Amino acid sequence: MNGIPAPAALPTTLADWLALLESRHPRGADGITLGLARVRAVSQALGQHPFAPIITVGGTNGKGSTCAMLENILRHAGYRVGLYTSPHLLDYNERVRINGQAIDDAALCAAFSQIEAARLAAGDVFLSYFEVGTLAAWECFAAIRPDVIILEVGLGGRLDATNIYDADCAIVTSIALDHQDFLGHDREQIGFEKAGIFRSGRVAICADPQPPQTLLAHAADIAADLRLINRDFGHVEQDLLQWQYWSRSPSPAATAIQRRSGLAHPGLRGPIQLQNASGVLAALDALREQLPVAMRDIRQGLLEVELPGRFQMLPGRPQIVLDIAHNPQAIQLLADNLSGRGQGYYQQTWAVFGMMRDKDVAAALKLLQTRIDHWLLCDLPGSRAATADELATTLHTIAPTASHWCFASVADALQLAREQAGENDRIVVFGSFLTVAAALRFIHAD
């Protein structure tokens, strides 16, 4: 921390701090104010400055998986890693991790106090819930001084609070339609926003096989060192257990392709993870002089990576699958994973489904209707959430005879699913971070 004194009569517990921040700017509220001027002014008042290599990860889907792989590989290589992600599933502390461990309450409270003082000193600057959280994460990192910092973009990229920190390497994982009210109504508009995390003269990785022209143009305009999947790097699946990563030298004089074979499939499920892992290895290649990593660390890091809520299969029978998928691209990946290799045979599939009203509910239902036998539709907290009755109305227009029930909570829906499902059935919980979080709380309390 930089020594700015905190004002008197501020919260003393993390719960009270979060309540204060939510009262100023509820997380589910409309009217998000995008822009970097306010958060940058407070960052400057705090005296924040880079002290370690920074990797910023943006994109529509795959950000969490990419961050988890980077973190695990770098930790296996012996580096102290600071990771900032959002949102959290169960506890706010999950958003700030040092060497795989969630930050403690005391460190967060100290950071929030510093930010409040700096915010007032900068002219009583308004900060959103996410902006305060981003500044607090940096304050926590500054106090501990990890060897490398990984920042997951919250919304878009160009105007996201994480973008006040200049990335040594920026990764865009995928680009699809989501948050259209803020980012634009097609992939070209959204691609421009995602490309905002690129920096002039620094490596920019794009792991989307079909990058929008706006992303390519912006990278060229600012003279970023853009490296594209399937052009500059990529992957080849060797067999069920191993895959190969390939890359071209960025030097115009070098034409040879370098290959790394015998890599373990990532611990995260789904064929899309090879695309994400390729982007990770391209970033590590770009930073190899600052952060050298051995092949054994890459293999082990990929094999052992875990990420709750991303096609997470819980032990026991019936099988329970948790997935935060909440936009059409992610829902399609969920559908593919449900029928993909290694899933085996399930007599029936029960879906516990809750979703935000501003998401494409109809698309989600259409993509999964042939893979779901019974729908358990549930209310979620907050004004943005679709009610179970609203979900049922949409389902009826898509599949008029679909078996379904409506519930006041995820816990009630999951309880019935567990009672009704047979040992050879499968229960899929999806649609939102809130849906998966509520399911985890119910399961942990059982």
The pLDDT tens digits for 45-93 are 999 999 999 999 999 889 999 999 999 999 999 999 999 999 999 999 9
Q: Which of 256, 260, 255 lies closest to 245 in space, CA to CA?
A: 260
Tens digits of residue pLDDT in 374-394? 999 999 998 889 999 999 999
Rounded Cα gap, residues 139 and 120, in angstroms: 17
Query: What does the DSSP 8-state code read for residue 162?
Result: G
Query: What would the two tokens of residue 49 be?
Result: 């400055």
Phi-psi label, residue 365: left if phi above 0, alpha if psi -120 to 50, beta otherwise: alpha
Task: Kindly indicate whether the domain formed by 14-304 is annotated with CATH number 3.30.710.10.
Answer: no
Q: Where in the chain is the domain with CATH 3.40.1190.10?
A: 14-304
pLDDT at 184 over 90: no
Percent of the chain with pLDDT over 70: 92
Cβ proximity of 407 and 385 under 8 Å = no
pLDDT at 343 over 90: no
pLDDT at 370 over 70: yes
| Mean predicted confidence (pLDDT) in 257-269 | 87
| Mean predicted confidence (pLDDT) in 303-309 | 90
Identify the band that residue 252 occupies on the pLDDT scale cut at 50, 70 and 90. low
Q: Which of 81, 38, 42, 56 lies closest to 199 in space, CA to CA?
A: 56
Tens digits of residue pLDDT in 80-116? 999 999 999 999 999 999 999 999 999 999 999 999 9
pLDDT at 179 over 90: no
What is the side-by-side strand order in the sheet with 242-248? 233-237, 242-248, 257-264
Average pLDDT of the chain, as a whole number = 90
| Mean predicted confidence (pLDDT) in 323-346 | 82
How big, in percent rounded to 5, are the helix, strand and coil portions of the chain? 40, 20, 40
pLDDT at 257 over 80: yes
C-alpha 125 chain-centroid distance: 28
The one-letter code for the residue type at 306 is E
Interior/surface letters 50-79, b for 16+ CB within 10 angstroms, e for the rest: eebbbbbbbbbbbbbbbbbbbbbbbbbbeb
The pLDDT of residue 45 is 96
Give the number of other CB atoms < 10 A from CB of residue 270.
20
Listing DSSP states for 10-41 in one string gives ---SHHHHHHHHHHHS-TT-S-----SHHHHH
Cβ proximity of 287 and 262 under 8 Å = no
Q: Where in the chain is the domain with CATH 3.90.190.20?
A: 312-445
* Pairing state between β 233-237 and 319-323: unpaired
The pLDDT of residue 328 is 86
Rank 8-22, 32-46, 370-384 by mean pLDDT and report only the highest: 370-384
Percent of the chain with pLDDT over 90: 74
Cβ proximity of 65 and 273 under 8 Å = yes
The pLDDT of residue 26 is 52
Task: Kindly indicate whether the domain formed by 312-445 is annotated with CATH number 3.90.190.20.
Answer: yes
The pLDDT of residue 253 is 57
Identify the band that residue 402 occupies on the pLDDT scale cut at 50, 70 and 90. very high
Cβ proximity of 53 and 82 under 8 Å = no
Question: Coil, strand, or helix at residue 404?
Answer: strand
The pLDDT of residue 255 is 63
The pLDDT of residue 326 is 87
pLDDT at 353 over 90: yes
Query: What would the two tokens of residue 394 be?
Result: 């949409």
| Mean predicted confidence (pLDDT) in 289-310 | 93
